[in-house]
Amino acid sequence: MGRRTMEPFLWLLFSAGGVLSALLLPVLVFLFGVAMPIGWIAAPGLDHLRGLIDNPLTSLVVLALSVLSLFHWAQRFRYTLIDGLKLKDHHRLINVSCYTVTLVGSVAAAVVLWQVR
Amino acid sequence: MNNPPGDAAYEPRLYRAPVSILWWLRRRSYFFFVLRELSSVFVAWSVVFLLLLIRAVGRGGGQYRDFLDWSATAWVIILNLVTLGFLVLHAITWFNLTPAAMVLRLRGQRVPPAAIAGSAYLAWVVVSAFVVWIVMRR
């Protein structure tokens, strides 16, 4: 029963994560994952990036982006496993695993952002 | 379920057609749907990649340099190119769905779905340009 009443809340987190990841992740992965490694643009200096992350607003946005994106992942991935691979019998295990990964990842994100400051 | 067919208790009430585990390969739209759902794996990877970058920045010049070298290795570049493809798929399918998820009314008139999707794309462009600006400005 408990899980049933959680569903609307989880869908809300899923949607928030969907919006934030769609708005922010393509440009970030393009810059740091493709354009800079290939050498299209020069990587910014350490001090500049440090200054960015030192801004509390940046930390807050990155934390929200990380946590909500992970909830977004959990919602889609568990349904992909349950429906896509026909693992309905194991839905409890799948749900618990996905949200455990999400919670561990969220704590890890908070720790990383905390240590940088 | 294991009762012999002659048993009175053996009386199946529902028939379920068996579905192959590869049901999503049978139609293009199904395949596309699964691709869209799989984009979430790359969303999660992007978060990990970003946090690795931030951790390296926090640990100083040596670690930051190591991160840049690692991100320039062939397999990481290939992984991130694939990731970028899935992220764009995620963003486009997500913004295209906004009018269905969000019905807005202005002065009693329903805001046309194209206007809602258009604003979502505009927000995408503005946010992306802003991120490029704050990352690249000197």
CB pairs under 8 A between A and B: 150
Cβ contact, residue pair A80, B131, below 8 Å: no
Closest Cα in chain B to A75 = B40
In a domain, A101, yes or no: yes
Cβ contact, residue pair B47, A65, below 8 Å: yes
Q: pLDDT digit string (tens) for A33-71?
A: 999 999 999 999 999 999 999 999 999 999 999 999 999
Q: pLDDT digit string (tens) for B40-76?
A: 999 999 999 999 999 999 998 899 999 999 999 999 9
Cβ contact, residue pair A46, B64, below 8 Å: yes
Instruction: For chain B, list the domains and their CATH numbers.
Output: 24-100 (1.20.1300.10)
Burial call A7-36: b when 16+ CB within 10 Å, e when fewer: eeebeebbbbbbbbbbbbbbbbbbbbbbbb
Give ipTM to 2 decimals: 0.93
Q: What's the pTM value of the predicted model, to 2 decimals?
A: 0.87
Q: Which domain holds residue A69?
A: 7-116
In a domain, A1, yes or no: no
Domain count, chain A: 1
Touching A: B residues 6-35, CB under 8 Å: 19, 21, 24, 34
What are the tokens at A66? 């990380």
In a domain, A38, yes or no: yes
CATH number for the domain that contains residue A76: 1.20.1300.10
